[in-house]
Amino acid sequence: MGNSGLTSNTSEERKTNWQELYILVKHWRSDLEFYKDDIRFLQQLIEKYLIWITKKENLDRVAGIRKKEHDLAISCYELHQNTTDHLGVIADFLEGKGSISESEFLSRHGKLETSMSDFVKDFRESRKEVFKVTEYVMDSEELQNILDS
């Protein structure tokens, strides 16, 4: 009675789980590629308009953003590498050639998931700060007049 809900196909169920994990991690990698492009775009935008900033206070604010964007770019690159490696490990499990124990894999997967979550949180906070500082700098430097002319 207690095991009536279980199927005898446990290896097939595991393969399905590995396939689902593979798809999930591919989505993570795709998201990271988007974030990488977004970070690069903002870095280029900041560089382009940096020459118009004249006030030291605003230069300091923008310098802080540039540092955070640089750090985010590094984190994104490292996460992308880790995600690609992780996909390889999952592919090995799908082919029955797992090189590490399942419990070790699950531990690594949990750490990668936490890193992804932390990165997305940092990315969103960075975006909010970029928009806030941009608005402040545009107002205080009267850059909009320059851009409109």
pLDDT score, position 52: 80
pTM here is: 0.80
Q: What is the pLDDT of residue 135?
A: 82
Instruction: Say which residue, 31 or 133, is predicted with more confidence.
Output: 31
For residue 142, pLDDT beyond 90: no
The pLDDT assigned to 139 comes to 79
- SS3 string, the chain, reads CCCCCCCCCHHHHHHHHHHHHHHHHHHHHHHHHHHHHHHHHHHHHHHHHHHHCCCHHHHHHHHHHHHHHHHHHHHHHHHHHHHHHHHHHHHHHHCCCCCCCHHHHHHHHHHHHHHHHHHHHHHHHHHHHHHHHHHHHHHHHCHHHHHHC
Quote the pLDDT of residue 147: 60
Q: What does the pLDDT read at residue 33? A: 98
| Predicted pLDDT at 144 | 55
The tens digit of pLDDT for each residue in 76-123 reads: 999 999 999 999 999 999 998 988 998 899 999 999 999 999 999 999
pLDDT at residue 5 in the model: 36
Which pLDDT score, from 0 to 100, does residue 91 have? Answer: 94
| Residue-wise pLDDT tens digits, 14-66 | 555 889 999 999 999 999 999 999 999 999 988 888 778 888 888 898 899 99
For the chain, what are the domain ranges?
A: 31-148
